[in-house]
Structure 1
């Protein structure tokens, strides 16, 4: 196991009716900017619960955060913070809204060009405004980590950043607010969480038995409960377990002291930047192809994954690896997520664009060994057609 530091300062308030507890988390004298996405937060009554919980405080609302949060939209919120003398931010939504809020919190205190926050992957961030979140879509674990991904449509770029200043002070997780989510969003959330775990687990052995065992349990939970969540959308226990699994998938715990990959994410980001395909669906396209392409370097962990996650224990090594990859693809398909580039209208010219974008954004040494080049990414994408 590698040396590591682990610290997660986010206070989680989990369970039914916890939105009411916002009154005890947001400072009484705060002027709050409530940040949300489209109309679903209003239609489902989540915003009404937030307003009720924050009665007596001064609240300003900023809606319109996109599913792949836009740089330009976030800057409008930063401008509003200055005009309204905002002192606290509250994200109400899924990972995209929380990601945008992290960027807004950092950009509001940054003296330079806010684009530098993304091009330096957060290295220039020296502080951020305080903020919390009310999670409505379990998927990204942005509610309990310090990372964010922002899309600049004008530049055709989707870039991640991370800063220790960008942990939410608190996050409210009420599984009941997920009951009304469309099946597509539930499926995307399960796939996103699944690949988050894989990126931290499916690398090479690091003698990290606790992290591996934890990751395998989370993966099996998603495989078991993902389809059930689509069949019985108002089963509280299923939704509660999915919500907590998605949070644990990327709150830093299973990634402590182990090598990590993230190539599927970096390649997937460029697909989204190209044609706005749902982030989770880009991962479902890239991951099976990458697993097959990198079966040599990942051999030991692929065999462990086959045995401990899918209970595939017979056949030759290559047969077991093949079966595990097909099981992974089959899982995504069972959730209604297509796993081929052609399903998302990405042709050969699109692959050329994606590979060029990887080079432009410095994504030239990806994977746990830093050995996946843009040429390797081309091969992975061509195999995913």
Structure 2
């Protein structure tokens, strides 16, 4: 196991009816901006429940945060924060709304060009507004981590940033709020959480049995519960377990003391920015071939993954690795998330643009060893057609 520093200050309030706890969680004298996405927050009654829980506090609303939150939209929220002297933010939604709220929290107090929050990957953030979240879509783990990904539409750029200053103070997780989610969003959430675990787990052995077993348990849980989440949308036990698994997949715990990859995510971000694919769709396309093209470097963990997660014990190490990769692709397909570029209308003619964008954003040395080059990414995309 590698040395590490682990820090996570986010309070979790988990369970049905927990939105009522906002009255105790948000300072009584706060001037609150509630940020949300589309109209589903209003339609399902969640927004009314939130505002009721906030009671007599001064509350402003900001809706319209996109599935891939844009810098342009979020800067409108920043202007609103400054205009109304907002001192507390509350995200109501999934990972995109929470990611966007993290950016607003940092940008509202940033001196200078707020785009530098992203180009510095968060390294120049000195202060941020406090905020909490009400999670309605389990997927990204943003409700309990310090990371965010924001898109600048004018440049077709999707960039990540992180800072300990943008951990949520608290997150409310009510599984009942997931009952009305569209099937596509639930499936995407399962795939997203699965790949988050894989990016931290499937690298190379480092004698970290605690992290490995924890990661393997999360993967097995997603494999077991994923199909049930689609067919039994109001099964509280399934939705509760899925919600907590997605949070644990990226709250820093399983990644402490182990190498991490993230090449699949970086390449996937370019697909989203250029071609507007759902984040999980890009991960489902990239991950299987990312594993296959890097099989030699990952063989130790691929065999472990095959044996422990998929119960594959027959054949050579190469046979096991190939079978595990196939099982992974089949799982994504079974969740209804397609795994080929062609499934989304993309062909070989689109690859040059993706690679050029990757290079322009400085993503030229990816992976746990920093040896995944744009040339490797080109081969991965060609194999993903």
- Give the TM-score, by structure 1 length: 1.00
Q: Does 1:345 align with 2:345?
A: yes
Counterpart residue number, 1:35: 35
SS class of match (2:295): coil
Match of 1:267 in 2: 267
**Matching residue of 2:198:** 198
Q: List per-residue Cα deviations over 1:275-324 (Å, max 9, x = no partner).
A: 11000010000000101000000000000000000000111111111110
What does residue 88 of structure 1 align with?
A: 88
> Deviations for 1:188-212, whole angstroms, at most 9, x for unmatched residues?
0000000000000000001100000
Q: 1:96-140 CA distances to partner (integer Å, 9 max, x unpaired)? A: 000000000000010011111111110111110000000000000
State whether structure 2 residue 228 is matched by structure 1 residue 213. no
Partner of 1:132: 132
CA distance in 1, matches of 2:290, 2:348: 18
More displaced stretch, 241-250 vs 318-327: 318-327
Q: 1:301 is matched with which residue?
A: 301
Equivalent residue for 1:383?
383
In the alignment, structure 2 segments of 5+ residues that lack a partner are none
CA drift at 1:219: 0.1
Inter-partner Cα distance in structure 1 for 2:223 and 2:173:
21
Using the TM superposition, give the Cα deviation of residue 348 of structure 1 relative to its aligned residue in structure 2, in angstroms: 1.9
Spell out the pairing of 1:141-152 with structure 2 (5 A cutoff).
141-152=141-152
For residues 350 and 214 of structure 1, what CA distance do their matches in structure 2 show? 38
Q: Which residues of 2 match residues 182-261 of structure 1 at below 5 A?
A: 182-261=182-261
Secondary structure at the counterpart of residue 306 of structure 1: helix
Map 1:281-360; keep pairs closer than 5 Å.
281-360=281-360
| SS of residue matched to 2:296 | coil
Q: Which deviations, in whole Å up to 9, do the C-alpha atoms of 1:167-195 show, x marking residues without a partner?
A: 00000000000000000000000000000
Structure 2 distance, partners of 1:284, 1:194, is 10
Aligned residues: 385
Taking the aligned partners of 2:207 and 2:362, their CA distance within structure 1 comes to 31
SS of the residue 1:89 aligns to: strand
Distance in 1 between residues matched to 2:142 and 2:110, nearest whole Å: 21
Match of 1:156 in 2: 156
Q: Is the 8 A contact 1:274 1:350 kept in 2?
A: no
**Given that residues 128 and 166 in structure 1 are in contact (C-alpha distance below 8 angstroms), is that contact kept between their aligned partners in structure 2?**
yes
2:115 counterpart residue number:
115
Separation in structure 2 between the aligned mates of residue 313 and residue 22 of structure 1, nearest angstrom:
49
RMSD (Å) for aligned C-alpha atoms: 0.5
**What TM-score do you get using the length of structure 2 for normalisation?**
1.00
Q: Given that residues 20 and 53 in structure 1 are in contact (C-alpha distance below 8 angstroms), is that contact kept between their aligned partners in structure 2?
A: yes
SS at match of 1:206: coil
Corresponding residue for residue 65 of structure 1: 65
CA distance in 2, matches of 1:286, 1:175: 30
In the TM superposition, what whole-angstrom CA distance separates every residue of 1:216-255 from its partner, at most 9, and x where no partner exists? Answer: 0000000000001111000000000000000000000000
Distance 1:118 1:272 in 2: 17
Distance 1:91 1:329 in 2: 33
* Aligned-partner SS, 2:112: coil
Q: Could you tell me which residue of structure 2 aligns to residue 103 of structure 1?
A: 103
After the TM superposition, which parts of structure 1 deviate over 4 Å for at least 4 consecutive aligned residues? none
Q: CA deviation at 1:349?
A: 2.6
CA distance in structure 2 between the aligned counterparts of 1:221 and 1:70, rounded to whole angstroms:
32
Q: CA deviation at 1:29?
A: 0.2
Aligned to 2:21: 21
Instruction: State the distance in 2 between where 1:127 and 1:308 align.
Output: 43
